[in-house]
Amino acid sequence: MDLTGARWRKSTRSGNDAGACVEVADNLPGLVHVRDSKDRDGGLLTFTPAAWRAFVELTRSP
């Protein structure tokens, strides 16, 4: 998978805890990638934009 050009950003839900950070790259066409910031080479999850929106909606605090 070519991630050239991916712009990773830290989740606003990660807070200031250096051990619990999630990064998201949602600037590549048709895919959203999620990785652990403390293990950037350890793998990632890939979502379609629609699946990512559904995931975010389901995990939002009331």
Q: Could you give the dihedral angle defined by the CA atoms of residues 22, 26, 32 and 36, in that order, rounded to the nearest 10 degrees?
A: -20
Angle at 3 between CA 11 and CA 33, to 5 degrees: 35
pTM: 0.80
Q: Could you give the dihedral angle defined by the CA atoms of residues 43, 49, 53 and 56, in that order, rounded to the nearest 10 degrees?
A: 10
Give the tens place of pLDDT for each residue, 35-61. 988 888 889 999 999 999 999 899 887
pLDDT of residue 15: 67
In terms of Cα–Cα distance, which of 57, 33, 28 is closest to 45?
Answer: 33
Separation of alpha carbons 11 and 35, rounded Å: 10
Give the tens place of pLDDT for each residue, 27-40. 999 999 999 888 88
